[in-house]
Structure 1
Amino acid sequence: MNVSLRNPENAPGPASPFYSQVARVDLGGGALLFVSGQLALDESGEVIAPGDMATQSRAVMRSLDALLRAEGASPADVVSIRTFLTDMSRLGEYGAARAEFFTGTPPTSATVEVSRLVPPGAVVEVEVVAAVPAAAGADPSGGAAA
């Protein structure tokens, strides 16, 4: 599998240092992980720190990290991020948490402002795509290895 994150010289550069323009994933025996949008929720499904962008952003990053690691991946394997914020003027708070999570070459990215998220009090939702090599002994058909 070959994954490259880059900003081609013959295309406009990224609008911020938090992402690359292009992700190329060659799946020669590897896998793509599509991780659903994560919200800052506690164990009972309640919003953590309603309205607090910084606290929620860090909680979302911790959830993404746990899900990626459970599948044998890490933040370094993420090739694309989609972020939904309820207030774009608070992008810096989200960006600071994101910078703690993604410390290498930044992945491709899209961030949009939405009128609201479900449940009430949630101010950020993030979903990612990661490219990872196949696990040793894994069955390429998706079944368990014998």
Structure 2
Amino acid sequence: MDKIRIMPKGHWDWSIPVSFSQGWKVGNLIFVGGQVPRDEEGNTVGVGDIEAQTHNVFENIRIVLNEAGADMKDIVKLNTFYRFDGKGEEALEFWEKMTKVRMEYLPEQDGPAGTAVRVSGFARDDVLLEVEAIAVVPDEN
């Protein structure tokens, strides 16, 4: 089975040279590496704004999927990691803002299996979320 590395031209890159990949296509599976709210120059987008960061992250996921011949409708598993220090209703409101934006990108009635994990932080303090995805595309036969 062929493995194809997915590295869209002009996509954000890490701050130092690393061997990580934005994604891999293996057979009819596409694995999208953790996408963060970054622009092409590697700057964080929407600092302090979960809605802006979520939009950017899902656009980054779309770019990686499109490079591999897939789209958002092909996602079967979504893992979301988000950072928020508040409690109670404030935490619920934060999660709901993030989730409403995610649903704009995943409007299908039967959406992907999903996981959302609240974390204490990321490699960069101005990042509020990171999302990875697995997609399935029809066999190319």
TM-score by length of 2: 0.72
- Counterpart for residue 122 of structure 1: 127
What does 1:6-25 correspond to in 2, within 5 Å?
none
Residues in 1 aligned to 2:65 and 2:120: alpha-carbon distance in whole angstroms: 28
| Structure 2 unaligned residues grouped into runs of 5+ | 1-26
Shift of 1:135: 3.4
- Identical counterparts, % of pairs: 30
Q: Deviations over 1:78-132 (max 9, x none)?
A: 0000000102811111111111000112110110011011222000110000011
- Counterpart for residue 73 of structure 2: 76
Residues in 2 aligned to 1:113 and 1:51: alpha-carbon distance in whole angstroms: 16
| Runs of 4+ deviating beyond 3 Å | none
- Counterpart for residue 96 of structure 1: 100
- Counterpart for residue 58 of structure 2: 61
- Counterpart for residue 118 of structure 2: 113
Q: How many residues align?
A: 108
Q: Deviations over 1:35-77 (max 9, x none)?
A: 0010010111111121210000000011111111111111111
Residues in 2 aligned to 1:94 and 1:71: alpha-carbon distance in whole angstroms: 26
Residues in 2 aligned to 1:119 and 1:135: alpha-carbon distance in whole angstroms: 39
Residues in 1 aligned to 2:140 and 2:98: alpha-carbon distance in whole angstroms: 32
- Structure with higher Rg: it is 1
Residues in 2 aligned to 1:134 and 1:119: alpha-carbon distance in whole angstroms: 38
Larger deviation: 31-40 or 127-136? Answer: 127-136
**RMSD across aligned C-alpha pairs, in angstroms?**
1.7
- What one-letter code is carried by the residue in structure 1 that aligns with 2:35? Q
| Structure 1 unaligned residues grouped into runs of 5+ | 1-29, 137-146
- Counterpart for residue 138 of structure 2: 133
- What one-letter code is carried by the residue in structure 2 that aligns with 1:94? M
Residues in 2 aligned to 1:120 and 1:102: alpha-carbon distance in whole angstroms: 27
- Counterpart for residue 33 of structure 2: 36
Residues in 2 aligned to 1:62 and 1:49: alpha-carbon distance in whole angstroms: 13
- What one-letter code is carried by the residue in structure 2 that aligns with 1:108? A
